Structure 1
């Protein structure tokens, strides 16, 4: 082969390698992204207290009227939906607690944060996807950010302790300072930052309490400090900020005359139960002993007007929850304001979540500001499952297969950001990207597959046809000079 032919072959190889690793639609430096979650911030918490900094953020950027979380409306499941774009039955983090129906082991929330097999069960969160495409990421207290996924850990992470004081405003500011250093000194491209309030205060005192109002004002001050810190760090023109939450909060009817108490139901006995996950708000799971499923279901299905009991296969499909092997054969949820008491009454919170995500008290907030977002825009409500596609677009990375649709939140971006050639496939009429297969099926029609398994035509400008044409042209030239 002539030297010119060798050079052409090397150039072709370089083209293929450079085109396969990451999307090339973005021109110039990549913007950074900070996703902040204030746990349990109900959608209307800014309506009965002054929130000047959140208001200013809405004027400078984008505000949703409200956001609908995934069901079940719990902390870990809903946070994992935000960073995977999957409904809970598809990402598998179905509860705040790790549990094993065979060994009967049940672990509390903080212990579960460190159990890798609970989180790493097939879905890859955005930290790992971004790192596989050349970015550096960080997680500060964010649920799921302190375990490895398919052998890969987040670049930098912090995990809260079991006795962590969620209310310490001084620590909040120190945590923000650390995150700013991660961006400016460690070169991170993406950080997810979690605060455990106003959830903790809402549980203890109730969503209508003065303590909750005071905590919302603390959250607002923190948003102001955060935005000032972004400016002081020189990141205002290169960092996109999203402030959101996992779910809302509802007042518990602790003194109601019709409490949901399984131990008082006349035709039900715990002797028929092999495994139970109860006393965790308004949700419950039961594994009946062999041969006792019908008897248990029959005893519970009409036992209380506030309690909704289903066989797994009959659970409402709209919740996108029950179709997962971790979910037991019987599951239940109660009406807003009512919690499920199991063997004894042990729940004493004044506020609770975990209810039907269609209930307005479960809705939460979404704010966004930065160089990629439009200014002064209020958008109609949307489901949290769509946020992941937006995050990937802001980072210019190819998403994993997910249940979201990019077009839902694309109008929140500036014309320049919205018109950037997308690294994701176009959405199909079903609400799922058309180049993605439904769960349990395979997809063979796409021409490019990313490292994360997501297929799509836009790894190079013009997609696969452009790459194919380039290869054919190079082959012709190679033949001529060989």
Structure 2
């Protein structure tokens, strides 16, 4: 009888182990970001390839970016799974409030001292566990992290046009060859549109619809390239963005918020960035913080915060780098410190709770379910999902896999298999003790 039970147990254990071998198959991951792709940009444009992704994969109703709704802070939250107050990339511009240094956005992308604050991005975590990773234009990819760099990096040249469709396709071909010919496991790919068009023309302009059609064709090209390179059974793709876009309110309908009208910035402030969309920061001169706060509280169409009193939901108050005063404009109202000529017709940087700041999430590939519509979630939760897909141990993060695990075909598969094995072993042990 015991021999028969041993044979039965061995058979059941082998059967239970099969899902483990399935789960152990390590697939690859491509993360694609289209800067400034608002959550509803595909709803007034014919986008057959984006529409097909819902049938062939996962779509979230929308994604909530972190505060701040800016390119660098949001992208770094995605690739680290940390809130902005933890990873400390608190602005698109590198700055130093003590020296008044301000480094333009494109130059900031290669300044490691801005990015390397003790938080480990996914590229480095994956490399430390034996995977090969690459960054193609992705914010943060060009930095050095405690002496470690991403295996392969392509940096975007300053002033280079972002909307060349032929180059978009060439970039995809390059990335596909990294996966198929050089066995890369993780690649992050960034496109600067539709953000540029949204700023220059506004989210309601026909040119915004034109660039969305171009993005849709690019997604179609990506799917064809995946098959052409034989990656259909091994490559997962996540498509997302960093923030949305809203129409900037202009004269004569509204007045621009010129903050120097409400306080003397030269006398009361030692540092400020108050002309960058809907978000501003300011360091008062010693002993003048309350005076600055009171003066800005009188300005219309904005909310002023002392840093330590920021709402907990912002996940900004613990930042050491952020200056003491934070200003957030009402949706569509742009901030101006003194005399900056502001030409944008669309902008971001506003409260992440505003629907115009929400963005997109799509995913498809061998590990994702098909025809699955997800409820909205915060972008900080993408990180643990990527770690699960890559089957690596995540670094400390603020996300939760429980938010996104239902998107996966084998969500919790290995855990369920281990539980099944444990249950079988305990059952067999019980049966042996009864004999």
Q: Please confirm whether the aligned pair reaches a TM-score higher than 0.5, indicating the same fold.
A: yes
Alpha-carbon deviation of 1:269? 3.9
Structure 1 unaligned runs (5+)? 1-23, 423-460, 466-482
2:51 maps to 55
- Alignment match of 1:313 (pick from 299, 308, 315): 308
CA distance in 2 between counterparts of 1:58 and 1:51 reads 12
Higher relative contact order (CA 8 A, sep 6+): 2
CA-based RMSD = 1.7
CA distance in 1 between counterparts of 2:413 and 2:176 reads 29
SS in 2 for 1:194: strand
- Alignment match of 1:279 (pick from 256, 275, 281): 275
Alpha-carbon deviation of 1:26? 6.3
Alpha-carbon deviation of 1:350? 0.4
- Alignment match of 2:34 (pick from 17, 24, 38): 38
Alignment of 1:320-339 (within 5 A): 320-339=315-334
- Alignment match of 1:238 (pick from 222, 234, 238): 234
Alpha-carbon deviation of 1:347? 1.7
1:347 maps to 342
CA contact (8 A) 2:259 2:299 kept: no
1:94 maps to 90
SS in 1 for 2:179: helix
1:260 maps to 257
Q: Tell me if 1:413 matches 2:411.
A: no
**Per-residue deviation, residues 417-469 of structure 1 (Å, max 9, x unmatched):** 541239xxxxxxxxxxxxxxxxxxxxxxxxxxxxxxxxxxxxxx78xx9xxxx
1:210 maps to 206
Q: Tell me if 1:227 matches 2:223.
A: yes
SS in 1 for 2:363: strand
2:12 maps to none
CA distance in 1 between counterparts of 2:350 and 2:175 reads 33
2:147 maps to 151
CA distance in 1 between counterparts of 2:64 and 2:371 reads 21
CA distance in 2 between counterparts of 1:127 and 1:188 reads 11
1:437 maps to none
CA distance in 2 between counterparts of 1:269 and 1:181 reads 53
CA distance in 1 between counterparts of 2:412 and 2:102 reads 45
Deviates more, 1:342-351 or 1:32-41: 342-351
CA distance in 1 between counterparts of 2:164 and 2:62 reads 27
Q: Tell me if 1:362 matches 2:357.
A: yes
Q: Tell me if 1:126 matches 2:133.
A: no
Q: Tell me if 1:399 matches 2:406.
A: no
Alpha-carbon deviation of 1:322? 2.7
Q: Which has the higher helix share?
A: 2
CA contact (8 A) 1:249 1:353 kept: yes
CA contact (8 A) 1:81 1:87 kept: yes
CA distance in 1 between counterparts of 2:141 and 2:237 reads 19
Alpha-carbon deviation of 1:25? 7.8
1:288 maps to 284
Alpha-carbon deviation of 1:28? 4.9
CA distance in 2 between counterparts of 1:323 and 1:77 reads 15
CA distance in 1 between counterparts of 2:129 and 2:291 reads 52
CA distance in 1 between counterparts of 2:341 and 2:177 reads 43
**After the TM superposition, which parts of structure 1 deviate over 4 Å for at least 4 consecutive aligned residues?**
24-28
CA distance in 1 between counterparts of 2:184 and 2:22 reads 18
SS in 2 for 1:420: helix
CA distance in 1 between counterparts of 2:21 and 2:94 reads 41
1:20 maps to none
Alpha-carbon deviation of 1:271? 1.4
CA contact (8 A) 2:257 2:300 kept: no
Alpha-carbon deviation of 1:195? 0.3
CA contact (8 A) 1:263 1:344 kept: no
Given the two structures, how large is their TM-score scaled by the length of structure 1? 0.81
1:111 maps to 107
CA contact (8 A) 1:252 1:339 kept: yes
CA distance in 2 between counterparts of 1:375 and 1:168 reads 31
CA contact (8 A) 2:82 2:397 kept: yes
1:385 maps to 380
Alignment of 1:457-468 (within 5 A): none
CA contact (8 A) 1:25 1:421 kept: no
1:427 maps to none
SS in 1 for 2:85: helix
**Per-residue deviation, residues 62-108 of structure 1 (Å, max 9, x unmatched):** 00000101111000000001111111111110100000111111001
**CA distance 1:116–1:26, shift in 2 (3 Å):** farther
SS in 2 for 1:276: strand
SS in 2 for 1:193: strand
Alpha-carbon deviation of 1:187? 1.1
CA distance in 2 between counterparts of 1:200 and 1:399 reads 33
SS in 1 for 2:326: strand
